[in-house]
Amino acid sequence: MEVIYLLIPVALIFIVLAVKFFFWAVKDGQFEDMEGPGHSILFDDDAEYTSQDIKDKQTPDSRDRKE
């Protein structure tokens, strides 16, 4: 029975933290675009990028055109 005196405050702290993190995520814009990630997976191209391409913001095709 004594453990309940510890578990109730711990549970309340977890609830307060969860609500705080939820409102932080909403304020930070985490839930702005709910459909974009779902649609972006459908239009994924098959080109393979290297880390250098990502640094230079180039596609593999544009890298090949450079002379």
pLDDT tens figures, 12-62: 999 999 999 999 999 988 888 777 777 777 775 655 656 665 566 655 555
- Per-residue confidence (pLDDT) for residue 35, from 0 to 100: 79
Total length of the chain: 67
- Please, are residues 53 and 63 in contact by the beta-carbon 8 Å criterion? yes
Interior CA angle at 22 toward 21 and 25, to 5°? 85
pLDDT at 41: 74
Output the pTM of the full model.
Answer: 0.50
Domain ranges of the chain: 4-65
